[in-house]
């Protein structure tokens, strides 16, 4: 079988930034916080994005929103994703202190969630190219590298992928990521490779393919069928982050137990105990998806009341599988 790292692995040139690999971790609400991003990068991800952050929330100095942007010097090549629909809010967010340490600003123009779309944000912006262009231009005025993540359209009758991709490039975007499903497909069904291929044929900036990648075979098939410059892993990165080492050929001695314990160590340092436990439990739950007979231990994990107890349960869950 062909190996991704032998056929498709390369560095990405995004504006004035060069990544070590073209395998990226997607922004995922509630999951891609600092500890998780650090783990993905160590395993080979060229970039790992923050979960989506409200540009308006930063405008009003919302502390909960600002916490999503926690980072430090250990995180190199910092990439934040912003959500919104007001160009001035994006410009202020990109120029403000909360994103000062971030090298890349990604604009969310693909979220299909009803409440987001109703607000004219996320995937709704594919219906308003003029507004989307103004948002990209507003972000570029910060001097940062700007990328855009979007879907091909609201449904198969409203496919705008080619013109939207060209608009992104013309407005100054340094890279685009195309999720191969329309808005009404949400996260289900096979991604349509041709939509991503259309975007690739339409622009000269890097095009990243996203959607339905759950294995090395999926990643190779995506590259074969789209001609994209790289792939973005989404929820499968939560279930098995070793996919980054597999795709990039990175040699690692990490195990599920060492990875989850590493998450516990980092979360304990940068979050309060309650927030740290919440993060660890969510990540551990995804890690457990491939482990049979862990239902009772999962219930025990969710009912435990402190980090010490949680660590003991994690050793029992993941230590047994590695004997």
Q: Which residues participate in catalysis according to the annotation?
A: 111
For residue 80, the surrounding DSSP H or E stretch is strand 79-83
> Tokens 């994690």 sit at which residue?
314
Question: Phi and psi dihedrals of 82, rounded to 5?
Answer: -110, 145
Q: How far is CA 95 from CA 34, 214, 224, in A?
A: 21, 36, 39
Spell out the SS3 assignment of 12-68. Answer: EEECCEEECCCEEECCCCCCCCHHHHHHHHHCCCCEEECCCEEHHHHHCCCHHHHHC
Number of Cβ within a 10 Å radius of residue 277: 22
Question: Phi and psi dihedrals of 259, rounded to 5?
Answer: -65, -45
**β-strands 17-19, 175-179 pairing:** unpaired
Cα–Cα distance measured from residue 298 to residue 293, given in angstroms and rounded to the nearest whole number: 10
> Tokens 């990328």 sit at which residue?
147
């Amino acid at each position: 079988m062909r190996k991704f790292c032998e056929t498709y692995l390369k560095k990405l040139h995004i504006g004035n930034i060069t990544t070590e690999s073209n395998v990226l971790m997607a922004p995922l609400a509630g999951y891609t916080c600092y500890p998780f991003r650090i783990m993905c990068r160590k395993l080979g991800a060229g970039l790992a994005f923050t979960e989506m952050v409200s540009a308006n929330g930063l405008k009003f100095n919302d502390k909960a929103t600002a916490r999503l942007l926690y980072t430090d010097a250990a995180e190199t090549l910092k990439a934040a994703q912003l959500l919104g629909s007001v160009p001035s809010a994006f410009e202020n967010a990109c120029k403000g202190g909360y994103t000062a340490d971030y090298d890349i600003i990604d604009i969310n123009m693909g979220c299909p969630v009803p409440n987001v779309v109703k607000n004219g944000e996320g995937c709704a912006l594919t219906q308003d190219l003029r507004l989307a262009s103004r948002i990209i231009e507003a972000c570029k005025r910060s001097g940062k590298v700007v990328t855009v993540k979007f879907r091909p359209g609201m449904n198969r009758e409203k496919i705008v992928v080619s013109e939207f991709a060209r608009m992104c490039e013309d407005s100054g975007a340094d890279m685009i990521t195309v999720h191969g499903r329309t808005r009404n497909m949400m996260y289900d069904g096979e991604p349509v490779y041709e939509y991503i291929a259309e975007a690739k044929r339409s622009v000269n900036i890097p095009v990243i393919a996203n959607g339905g990648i759950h294995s090395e075979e999926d990643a190779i098939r995506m590259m074969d069928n789209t001609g994209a410059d790289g792939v973005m892993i989404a929820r499968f990165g939560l279930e098995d982050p070793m996919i980054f080492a597999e795709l990039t050929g990175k040699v690692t001695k990490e195990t599920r137990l060492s990875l989850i314990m590493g998450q516990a160590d980092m979360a304990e340092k940068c979050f309060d105990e309650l927030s740290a436990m919440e993060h660890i439990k969510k990540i551990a739950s995804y890690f457990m998806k491939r482990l049979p007979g862990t239902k009772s231990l999962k219930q025990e994990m969710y009912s435990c009341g402190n980090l010490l107890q949680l660590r003991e349960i994690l050793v029992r869950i993941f230590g047994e599988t590695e004997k």
